[in-house]
Amino acid sequence: MFARFFSRLFGRPSIKYAVCFDGPLFHFWAEHAIFYEDENGNLTAETIHGHDFIASLRIDGPLDSASRVADFVPLKDAFLDVLDDWDKALVLPKGYELPPNSSHQSKKKRYVKAKNPTNEVVAGLILQEVVKRLVKKGVVSKNLLDQFSFTLRLVVKLEGYAEATMGK
């Protein structure tokens, strides 16, 4: 009875599906600095500092033959692998070299093709890496990518978040 009522009221129901990974398991820490141009055009950087991030990944898409958006286990594994690549990284603009006596806690450097390695830029880069791994592992078919939407959110503990979305 409810289904007939719903159908008459709203037409055929359209259901969208998604999977989401969220929580303390998806944690990483990274350092960066934001660069500013002064009134004379000189580039200066704020002090290099680190953030604790909790990342979440949402994938919206059609159900596959097993009635799921994507296989949960390889999806989670790919996401964790990418976050591990960013953990304890110093994120800098491509071509920037640290001053000789600078000290930082990061063991690895990640260079980005952006003026500033902001949290928004990092979110977008992590999202691109996750999607590439999902396609490479066959979790999401390259031919069906246009049917999916991917959103990555980086929550900076106690401060706010940055988000990047790809797809429809």
71 or 10, which is more confident? 71
Domain boundaries, the chain: 17-167
Type of residue at 86: W
The lowest-confidence range among 12-16, 47-51, 76-80, 122-126 is 12-16
Question: What pLDDT digit, counting tens, does each position of 139-149 carry?
Answer: 888 888 999 99
Q: What is the dihedral of CA 55, 69, 82, 95, to 10 degrees?
A: -90
- For residue 42, pLDDT over 70 is answered with yes
Half-sphere exposure of residue 110, counting CA atoms within 13 Å on the CB side?
25
Residues 6+ apart with CB under 8 A from 97: none
% of the chain exceeding 90 in pLDDT: 51
Per-position DSSP letters for 139-156, written without gaps between them: SS-GGGGGG-EEEEEEEE
CATH code assigned to 17-167: 3.30.479.10
Give pTM, 2 decimals: 0.84
